[in-house]
Amino acid sequence: MDRSMSVDSVTISVEGITCDSCVWTIEQQIGNLNGVYHIKVSLEEKNATIIYDPKLQTPKTLLEAIDDMGFDAVLHNPNPLPVLTDTVFLTVAGSLALPWDHIQNTLLKTKGVTDIKISPQQRTIVVTLIPSIVNANQIIELLPDLSLDIRTLEKKSGTCEDYSMAQAGEVMLKMKIEGMTCHSCTSTIEGKIGKLQGVQRIKVSLDNQEATIGYQPHLITIEEIKKQIEAVGFPAFIKKQPKYLKLGAIDIERLKNTPVKSSEGSQQRSPSYTSDSTVTFIIDGMHCKSCVLNIESALSTLQYVSSIVVSLENRSAIVKYNASLVTPETLRKAIEAISPGQYRVSIASEVESTSNSPSSSPLQKIPLNIVSHPLTQETVINIDGMTCNSCVQSIEGVISKKEGVKSIRVSLANGNGTVEYDPLLTSPETLREAIEDMGFDAALSDINEPLVIIGQTSSEMPLLTSTNEFYTKMMTPIHDVETKTSSKCYIQVTGMTCASCVANIERNLRREEGIYSVLVALMAGKAEVRYNPVVIQPPMIAEFIRELGFGATMIENADEVDGVLELVVRGMTCASCVHKIESILTKHRGIFYCSVALATNKAHIKYDPEIIGPRDIIHMVESLGFEASLVKKDRSASHLDHKREIRQWRRSFLVSLFFCIPVMGLMIYMMVMDHHLAILHHNQNMSQEEMINIHSSMFLERQILPGLSIMNLLSFLLCVPVQFFGGWYFYIQAYKALKHKTANMDVLIVLATTIAFAYSLVILLVAMYERAKVNPITFFDTPPMLFVFIALGRWLEHIAKGKTSEALAKLISLQATEATIVTLDSDNILLRYLFSFFPLLILTSYEKCRIYPEVERRI
Rounded CA separation 529/484 (Å): 14
Task: List, for residues 106-154, the tens digit of each pLDDT value.
Answer: 777 787 787 777 776 667 778 888 877 877 777 777 776 677 664 454 4
H/E stretch holding 103: helix 100-108
Could you give the C-alpha distances from 609 to 52, 613, 835, in angstroms and in order?
64, 6, 10
**Domain 295-367+463-471: top CATH class:** alpha beta
Residue pair 50/187 in contact by the 8 Å Cβ criterion: no
Q: How confident is the model at residue 451 (pLDDT cuts 50, 70, 90)?
A: very low
Rounded CA separation 609/616 (Å): 11
Domain residue extents for the chain: 8-82, 86-164, 169-243, 295-367+463-471, 377-453, 487-557, 560-634, 654-804
Residues sharing a CB contact under 8 Å with residue 689, sequence separation 6 or more, in sequence order? none
| pLDDT (average), residues 256-267 | 39
Residue 824: CA count within 13 A, CB half-sphere: 0
Could you give the C-alpha distances from 605 to 567, 593, 614, in angstroms and in order?
8, 6, 10
pLDDT at 799: 84
pLDDT at 137: 76
Could you give the C-alpha distances from 538 to 512, 553, 556, 633, in angstroms and in order?
13, 10, 11, 20
Lowest mean pLDDT among 280-294, 311-325, 836-850: 836-850
Could you give the C-alpha distances from 758 to 578, 708, 727, 775, in angstroms and in order?
68, 16, 15, 17
Question: Higher pLDDT residue, 77 or 760?
Answer: 760
pLDDT exceeds 50 at position 266: no
pLDDT at 239: 64
Could you give the C-alpha distances from 590 to 101, 182, 284, 593, in angstroms and in order?
78, 43, 8, 9
Torsions phi, psi for 318 (to 5 deg): -110, 120
Question: Higher pLDDT residue, 538 or 376?
Answer: 538
| Adjacency order of strands within the sheet including 441-444 | 405-411, 416-421, 377-384, 441-444
- DSSP one-letter string for 689-711: HHHHHHHHTSTTT-EEETTEEHH
Among residues of the chain, what percentage have pLDDT more than 70?
A: 71
pLDDT at 459: 34
One-letter amino acid of 486: S
pLDDT exceeds 50 at position 252: no
pLDDT at 759: 92
CA-nearest of 748, 498, 804, 792 to 649 is 792
pLDDT exceeds 90 at position 762: yes
Lowest mean pLDDT among 100-114, 414-428, 752-766, 813-827: 813-827
Q: Other C-beta atoms within 10 Å of 267: how many?
A: 11
pLDDT at 139: 75
- DSSP one-letter string for 785-799: HHHHHHHHHHHHHHH
Task: List, for residues 64-94, the tens digit of each pLDDT value.
Answer: 888 888 888 888 777 788 877 777 777 776 6
Read off the DSSP letter of residue 557.
Answer: G
pTM: 0.33
Residues sharing a CB contact under 8 Å with residue 307, sequence separation 6 or more, in sequence order? 300, 319, 320, 363, 365, 366
pLDDT exceeds 70 at position 241: no
Could you give the C-alpha distances from 713 to 760, 775, 843, in angstroms and in order?
11, 11, 74
Residue ranges of E strands in 789-840: 818-822, 827-831
| pLDDT (average), residues 831-849 | 52
| pLDDT (average), residues 455-462 | 36
Lowest mean pLDDT among 33-42, 109-118, 480-489: 480-489
One-letter amino acid of 696: S
Q: Other C-beta atoms within 10 Å of 827: how many?
A: 10
3.30.70.100, 3.10.450.50, 3.20.10.10, 3.30.470.20: CATH of 169-243: 3.30.70.100
Torsions phi, psi for 810 (to 5 deg): -65, -40
Q: How confident is the model at residue 356 (pLDDT cuts 50, 70, 90)?
A: very low
Query: What integer best gives the mean pLDDT of the chain?
Result: 74
pLDDT exceeds 60 at position 836: no
Rounded CA separation 805/801 (Å): 6
pLDDT exceeds 70 at position 838: no
pLDDT exceeds 70 at position 769: yes
Task: List, for residues 143-189, the tens digit of each pLDDT value.
Answer: 766 776 644 544 444 443 343 434 445 677 888 888 887 777 888 88
pLDDT at 135: 78
Architecture of domain 8-82: 2-Layer Sandwich (3.30)
Rounded CA separation 31/13 (Å): 16
pLDDT at 765: 92
What fold, for 487-557?
Answer: Alpha-Beta Plaits (3.30.70)
One-letter amino acid of 353: S
Look at the chain and count its residues.
859
Q: How confident is the model at residue 833 (pLDDT cuts 50, 70, 90)?
A: very low
CA-nearest of 242, 185, 178, 235 to 510 is 178
pLDDT exceeds 70 at position 269: no
Rounded CA separation 170/177 (Å): 21
Residue pair 365/357 in contact by the 8 Å Cβ criterion: no
pLDDT exceeds 50 at position 646: yes
Domain 560-634: assigned CATH number: 3.30.70.100
Rounded CA separation 38/53 (Å): 10
pLDDT at 482: 36
Q: What is the dihedral of CA 753, 754, 760, 765, to 10 degrees?
A: 160
The yes-or-no answer to whether 295-367+463-471 and 377-453 have a common fold is yes
Percentage helix, strand, coil, to 5, in the chain?
40, 25, 35
What fold, for 86-164?
Answer: Alpha-Beta Plaits (3.30.70)
Q: Does CATH place domain 377-453 in 3.30.70.100?
A: yes
CA-nearest of 316, 304, 307 to 343 is 316
pLDDT exceeds 80 at position 524: no
Question: Higher pLDDT residue, 369 or 274?
Answer: 274
pLDDT exceeds 60 at position 724: yes
Rounded CA separation 75/768 (Å): 56
One-letter amino acid of 474: M
pLDDT at 167: 40
pLDDT at 709: 85
Question: Higher pLDDT residue, 241 or 21?
Answer: 21
Among residues of the chain, what percentage have pLDDT more than 90?
A: 2
Rounded CA separation 702/706 (Å): 10
